[in-house]
Amino acid sequence: MSEKYYRHTVIDVDLEAVDENYRMIQNLHPDKTFIAVVKANAYGLGSVTVADYLAARGVGFFAVATLDEAIELRMHGIREKVLVLGAVPPEDINKAIQHRIAVTAPNLEWLYEACSSMDGRYDKEVWIHIKVNSGMNRLGTSDIGEISRMIEEIDNNEHFIYEGIYSHFSSADIDSDVNAREYDEFKRITGAVKRPRYVHIQNSAGALRVKDDYCNAIRVGISLYGYYTSGYIESISEVKLKPSVMLSTKVTDMHTLSEGEGVSYGLTHRAQGREKIATLPIGYADGLLRRQTGYEVRLEDGTNCPITGRVCMDSAMISVPESAEIGDRVIIIDPERESEQSMENYSVYSETISYESLTILSRRIPRIYRGEKAGFVHNEVLK
Ligand SMILES: *Cc1c(COP(=O)(O)O)cnc(C)c1O
């Protein structure tokens, strides 16, 4: 962890907001196990730091997408339960056993493969969560006979523990009956087989919209970080989530154009008259998409300034008022939900969603952690 960085583009991560979101969502489901989803580097916030912070505040269960991500948590001292939501190659089952990671079994064939790959090097058990396909057709099976045989296979193997059964909603953020139908399908399938310790289907949107207690765990990702999956979920939600991410930078250079002069590659933007252009040290290699041309960032005095011309790999230019100066701070993503630079507006502008906007913020941008017992910097590049 390096405390140093040498460019003014930074992501402020409000860990206290993450903790508040955790508490608010847990309060909606006081009896369910909270599984904090910290895959994709905790949606760009930093998985080790987020997991560490939450573990100290009561979260005892984390989920990631890959075995590598799970091992990363272990190598940085996270000792809580970790489940891999993706399909680990069955031949790598021994690595999961070594690091005490729970894995997902998507079908019977995977189990047979995992079983025959066990080399007995680690005389420990491995926790298995069976994945049910309730309509999304991504991972898992809907065949009750197959699931019954999987449970038998697990029960007959002294190293396997049947710990969970789960599925994933395809349309939890949409106002339709698809969600209820998938939930019914999940109940039909799981109701026909032995019930393990953990039964779970709710992601963020599912946890915010479904209050039923058939399941005893929830898997929360995006809303832990303060974002609703859709306007619909925001409109029906009982909790006011607190966005945790701010992306800001500072002006590094300034040019005054006269009429007809252009800006950036291809000179696609032309000055209509005298125009002041400021250069920001952030580009598409940081996660600011080329499609963000035209998006308005905010100067500290409150002026909104559009990104003009093409976004470059390492910089972007904005059109600013005469009063702007080198060194001025610029807000690109604001943690205020009502701000014109909110995550929602930022994402809609480039026709994407907060999940993508967050996870493409690259390792080049240092993360500055705020909150109780925080106030430190993580710069992945100089780590
Ligand atoms: C990513 C993921 C989640 C978390 O989804 P959010 O919408 O971010 O809450 C839960 N379950 C599975 C299987 C996932 O892949």
**Series of mean pLDDT values for 10-residue runs along the chain (383 residues):** 86 98 98 98 98 98 98 98 98 96 98 93 93 98 98 96 98 94 98 98 96 96 97 95 98 98 98 98 98 98 98 98 98 97 98 98 97 88 91
Q: What pLDDT, on the 0 to 100 scale, is given for residue 17? A: 98
**What pLDDT is stored for residue 180 in this prediction?**
95
**317 annotated to a ligand binding site:** no
Q: 222 C-alpha vs ligand 1 centroid, how far in Å?
A: 8
pLDDT of residue 123: 86
Residue 182 confidence (pLDDT): 97
- For strand 160-166 and strand 126-131, is the pairing parallel, antiparallel, or unpaired? parallel
Give residue ranges with CB within 6 A of ligand 1. 37, 39, 85, 168, 203-204, 219-223, 229
Residue 2 is predicted with a pLDDT of: 60
Q: Is 265 a catalytic residue?
A: yes
Q: Which atom of ligand 1 is nearest to the CA of 222?
A: 8
Pocket test for ligand 1, best of 168, 170, 182, 347 (most atoms within 8 A of CB): 168
**Ligand 1 centroid distance, CA of 168 (Å):** 8
Top mutation candidate among 22, 37, 220, 237 for ligand 1, by most atoms within 8 Å of CB: 37
From the candidates 39, 131, 242, 276, give the one annotated as an active-site residue: 39
> Is the pTM for the entire model greater than 0.95?
yes
138 annotated ligand-binding residue: yes
Rounded to the nearest angstrom, the distance between the alpha carbon of 282 and the centre of ligand 1 is 29
- Amino acid 371: pLDDT: 87
